[in-house]
Chains A and B, each alone.
Chain A
């Protein structure tokens, strides 16, 4: 299974009570369909917010039109998360695609990070990522200041103003966070050199571990197939096996980590619906057992 965990929504979607026009949603749906054509099984729509995350940020998700051959992880009527089992994360029907919700918080102050860490609103998202805007926030994120996040995302096309250090990034990896590499910056010739420089630095300090490759694009035309992404890793001296993991096994592990964050108690206990617990007429089966995992 191939994963693209960053299909960007427009900027307006990241505002509280934000809205998107029908043309913008049509463009998003077209991008999702293109991802399915290219062989991706799971994609995540990324809502980039700045400031604190509030329940008003969730309202945009109920405005998405119905989409055929797509399994959404939330209800379009209520906006609530419907994904209940970890196995469902990577189980996709044939000729279908699973669509997840992701939030990326731009962090310039520590308060912003706390609003996406473990709140009821952030738990409605399938993936929570932070994008530190300065070195101090990167160190805070890597050090585990905000425990309930899944991924650290850095803008590969921008000049950072700091160096990615082994110690800092190593801390993030030891806490199980993934580091995101978006190839969108490589598509633009004006940012390509910066993208290569930043990506090579991340690859060097991580040694290729726990990297998740994503598109970060809005338009269907900018999407690339998983095999093209695998070849792109050569440009930053990452071998094809490690690059391919970034669109497959590492991304799957990230989703399991995210589910563990929301669907389990301390990663030890998960309660799932036991179909044997109900009789055919809907009455509870007294002989049902609670499954411990």
Chain B
């Protein structure tokens, strides 16, 4: 199932390398490129990203923007006016041809102001399949996404039949909302690792003894009504393309058979990325979460989605 998830790259580049004709012709125009600078935090420094649509997004603090001299728009976050600016450069546009004045202006400003090397994580993916492609940049380190899996049996889980006992678009009552919150809280605990669920289980002597070994403080207990379930968890961390995640979601859904097991897909965006879902602006107040979790039940052909975006995210 994870065979199509391939490597990404860590490399130190100058921002002017991202707008070089070779990079644009060789990678931006032929494939999907996603990149994010990881040197600095979004609320304290300058962050650069390529959003996968060929747009280079620069989230710049006041000092850098004023010296850079490129046209951008005032960022919505922080709320103070002119504290931060976003500059978007369409790398696929005709004006980014190296003979055009627009390109030369951008290049000269990048070389004059953004002249230090920044560390990037970059992924290059096939546009149709989302498969990872090679990136030939000197000094690039190949990184494989980290995969962890665990299996658990007879673990308490909130009862979920009522969760899907609702029509799409129907008004949700408080009881349903509380149930959904309990379920997704459990999903968060499960995604944190088996030790969290071991300490919460208390279902049998063996599990309680294991919890004592783990020495985890039991602050969470599975709410009633609850059932005993078994599940397998696979965690993939690294830079993944949207196409790869979409393909993973499709494979989790199986062949559409009503007898297929329930699946849960959780996706987290990077907390320091300048763009969030649907190219929304993203920043970091005291947290930068931008995640969603999908709970699919093929037997009733329904899916419940929980979305969480931090306060400084225009998608929320």
State whether B286 touches A249 (Cβ < 8 A).
Answer: no
State whether A41 touches B285 (Cβ < 8 A).
Answer: no
State whether B286 touches A240 (Cβ < 8 A).
Answer: yes
Contact size class for A?
A: 10 to 19
Docked complex Cα distance between A39 and B40 (Å)? 11
Interface string of B19-42 (1 = CB under 8 A from A): 000000000000000000001010
State whether A2 touches B44 (Cβ < 8 A).
Answer: yes
State whether B61 touches A227 (Cβ < 8 A).
Answer: no
10 A-B pairs with least C-beta separation: A227-B286, A241-B79, A249-B83, A1-B44, A230-B286, A249-B80, A240-B285, A90-B63, A245-B80, A2-B44
Interfacial chain B residues near A231, Cβ < 8 Å:
286
State whether A245 touches B44 (Cβ < 8 A).
Answer: no
1-48 of chain A: CB within 8 A of chain B? 1-2, 39, 41
Interface string of B280-316 (1 = CB under 8 A from A): 0000011000000000000000000000000100000
CB distance from B293 to the nearest CB of A (A): 25
With beta carbons under 8 angstroms apart, the residue of A1, A240, A241, A244 that contacts B61 is A1
* B43: Cβ under 8 A from any A Cβ: yes
Docked complex Cα distance between A249 and B78 (Å)? 10
**Considering only CB atoms, which chain A residue lies closest to B118 in the complex?**
A94
* A91: Cβ under 8 A from any B Cβ: yes
* B69: Cβ under 8 A from any A Cβ: no
Docked complex Cα distance between A95 and B17 (Å)? 24
Interfacial chain A residues near B83, Cβ < 8 Å:
249
With beta carbons under 8 angstroms apart, the residue of B44, B61, B63, B285 that contacts A230 is B285
Additional 19 contacts, C-beta under 8 A, given A230-B285, A240-B286: A1-B45, A1-B61, A2-B44, A39-B41, A41-B44, A87-B63, A87-B67, A91-B63, A230-B286, A240-B311, A241-B79, A244-B43, A244-B285, A248-B43, A248-B44, A249-B62, A249-B78, A249-B80, A252-B62
Docked complex Cα distance between A181 and B83 (Å)? 22
CB distance from B100 to the nearest CB of A (A): 28
* Majority secondary structure, A binding face: helix
Docked complex Cα distance between A94 and B45 (Å)? 11
Listed A/B pairs (8) with beta-carbon separation below 8 Å: A1-B45, A227-B286, A231-B286, A244-B78, A244-B285, A245-B78, A248-B44, A252-B62
Docked complex Cα distance between A249 and B43 (Å)? 11
Docked complex Cα distance between A245 and B80 (Å)? 8
Docked complex Cα distance between A249 and B81 (Å)? 10
Interfacial chain B residues near A90, Cβ < 8 Å:
63
With beta carbons under 8 angstroms apart, the residue of B39, B61, B78, B286 that contacts A94 is B39
Interfacial chain B residues near A227, Cβ < 8 Å:
286
Interfacial chain A residues near B285, Cβ < 8 Å:
230, 240-241, 244
The verdict on A39 contacting B78 (CB below 8 Å), with A87-B63, A249-B83 known, is no
Docked complex Cα distance between A17 and B41 (Å)? 42
Interface string of B39-71 (1 = CB under 8 A from A): 101011100000000000000011100010000
Interfacial chain B residues near A245, Cβ < 8 Å:
78, 80
Docked complex Cα distance between A91 and B44 (Å)? 11
The verdict on A39 contacting B44 (CB below 8 Å), with A230-B285, A231-B286, A240-B286 known, is yes
Interfacial chain B residues near A240, Cβ < 8 Å:
285-286, 311
Interfacial chain B residues near A41, Cβ < 8 Å:
44
Docked complex Cα distance between A240 and B79 (Å)? 11
CB distance from B74 to the nearest CB of A (A): 13
Docked complex Cα distance between A244 and B78 (Å)? 9
Interfacial chain A residues near B79, Cβ < 8 Å:
241
Interfacial chain B residues near A249, Cβ < 8 Å:
62, 78, 80, 83
**Considering only CB atoms, which chain B residue lies closest to A2 in the complex?**
B44
Interfacial chain A residues near B63, Cβ < 8 Å:
87, 90-91
Interface string of A218-259 (1 = CB under 8 A from B): 000000000100110000000011001100110010000000
Interfacial chain A residues near B43, Cβ < 8 Å:
244, 248
Interfacial chain B residues near A252, Cβ < 8 Å:
62
CB distance from B112 to the nearest CB of A (A): 13
Interfacial chain A residues near B80, Cβ < 8 Å:
241, 245, 249
CB distance from B170 to the nearest CB of A (A): 35
Docked complex Cα distance between A87 and B113 (Å)? 13
CB distance from B66 to the nearest CB of A (A): 10
Interfacial chain A residues near B44, Cβ < 8 Å:
1-2, 39, 41, 248
Docked complex Cα distance between A70 and B44 (Å)? 18
56-114 of chain B: CB within 8 A of chain A? 61-63, 67, 78-80, 83
127-172 of chain A: CB within 8 A of chain B? none
**Considering only CB atoms, which chain A residue lies closest to B41 in the complex?**
A39
CB distance from B207 to the nearest CB of A (A): 35
Docked complex Cα distance between A248 and B285 (Å)? 12
